[in-house]
Amino acid sequence: MVKNANNYACNSTHIYEADVILKDIDVFVPQGYMEYRQARWNGEDHTNTQPLVPEPLQISSELQVHVASNDISKFALDNYLNLPLCTEPDSEGHWIPIDAIPFDKSHLPKQDNFEHVWLPYNCRLYPYSYEEFAECTSKKHNLIHWFGDSNTRRALKKISSMGSWCSKPDEVNTQLCKCNDNAESLGQQDPRLPMIPINIGPHSKIMHFRWGGLTQINNPPWLNTFSSDFANITDTPSVAIFALVNWDVAFSTRSFFIQQVEILLDKITEYYPSASTEIIVRTGQYYCCAYDQDIFWKRKFSRLRTLYFNQYITQAFQKRFGNERRVSIWDVSQLSERRPYKAREEAAQTCAPNHARAELVDIENQLLFNRLCN
């Protein structure tokens, strides 16, 4: 962008051009909305969360783009089984109705609660069972360190129960499975414990460190994890997973978050000096369609704020460690962002803490399993 004082004028409209690649067979009709004015998507300087009342922009309905069927396209569904297996958990993809799949559905990961399956464009997800994942980690990843919040807790409940958590038809629509599981134990453990060892295979373990992001509401403070006894508590892991952003967006400020990320990166350099410890950064959950009306918590969620925090932390990790070790981005945000609008709207209306419902947790975990096992 060329430097110009007009770029920073708050009372003017800024228009930016961007290219869009349409990979799916369909008819596309552009729509436009003005979501926020005067940067009110960022709740930092506002006492109350700002309502999301998008203003529709007038766009001619005649502006349509038709993408026709092309069997030789690498994005065609008929070509999916010819794609290589996924090795990174941030591959772009799309949600396809299960009835539209033209091949054997046993090759697919689980479907969501709207009977759609997630298929990456450029690679193929192997549908790992939880038992297969346990076997894989016993061979490849004897020890994993996982730092994360309440969304991590839900992922680990699936893993530690071998997928049985919230899997029965009479369970999936309960509030616990759709949203709030904070009162339920993690296996046999109190989920409020700062550190929980989870055995997932005969020779593999996940050490779960409970963090509420890098916020000041952590009790004990997240920095206490890296004490002088840290190296004595656990061996060196093959993988360290950092699942942040959700609580930071909700309860922290941009400046404090940036400061804490730098401290975290320094601690990783100190306590994980070996390049043999690979790093996986899990993004925050996508936030859609509404604003948090919880009077008690007063979370500062917004779609754009979450996007900003996600971009900052993934770039910070890649810049610091990308040249010395493998750094992967576990992009659970785009997984939800690309769901049909009715699915995103339902999630926003049924879960104020912005937790992924159990069916989606299974699919998020598949991205991780393919990264660790393929």
Q: Which domains does the chain have, with CATH numbers?
A: 130-373 (3.40.50.1110)
Residues 338, 117: Cα–Cα separation, whole Å = 11
Q: Judge contact between 211 and 116, C-beta under 8 A.
A: no
| Matching residue, tokens 């051009």 | 17
Place of tokens 């999936």: 172
Residue-level pLDDT, tens digit, the chain, 374 residues: 456 767 667 677 778 888 988 888 889 998 888 877 767 777 776 555 667 788 899 999 889 999 887 666 778 898 999 999 999 999 999 999 999 999 999 999 999 999 999 999 999 999 999 999 999 999 999 999 999 999 999 999 999 999 999 999 999 999 999 999 988 988 778 888 889 999 998 899 999 999 999 999 999 999 999 987 887 778 899 999 999 999 999 999 999 999 999 999 999 999 999 999 999 999 999 988 766 666 667 788 888 889 999 999 999 999 999 999 999 999 999 999 999 989 998 888 888 889 999 999 999 999 999 999 99
For 87, other C-beta atoms within 10 Å of its C-beta total 13
Give yes or no for a contact between 119 and 363, defined as CB atoms under 8 angstroms apart: no
- Hey, what amino acid is at 128? Y
Cα 25–310–253 angle (5° rounding)?
145
Q: How far apart are the first and last CA of the chain?
A: 40
Q: Can you tell me the distance from the alpha carbon of 189 to that of 198, in angstroms, rounded to the nearest whole number?
A: 9
Q: How many other CB atoms are there within 10 angstroms of residue 197's CB atom?
A: 14
The Cα–Cα gap between 89 and 123 comes to 10
| pLDDT score of 277 | 97
> Can you tell me the distance from the alpha carbon of 223 to that of 277, in angstroms, rounded to the nearest whole number?
20
149/215 Cα distance (integer angstroms): 11
Between CA 314 and CA 179 the distance in angstroms is: 26
Q: HSE-up of 42 (CA within 13 Å, CB side)?
A: 10
330 with 367: CB under 8 angstroms? yes
User: What span, in angstroms and rounded, lies between the C-alpha atoms of 368 and 350?
Assistant: 26
Per-residue model confidence (pLDDT) at position 301: 83
pLDDT at res. 71: 62
Contact predicate 55/33, CB 8 Å:
yes
pTM for this predicted structure? 0.92
Q: Which phi and psi (to 5°) does residue 20 adopt?
A: -125, 130
d(CA 208, CA 193): 9
Q: How far is CA 221 from the centre of its chain?
A: 23
Q: Rounded to 5 degrees, what are φ and ψ at 285?
A: -70, 145
CA–CA gap between residue 239 and residue 373 (Å, rounded):
12
In this structure, the number of other CB atoms found within 10 A of the CB of residue 352 comes to 17
Report the pLDDT value the prediction gives residue 76, as an integer from 0 to 100: 85
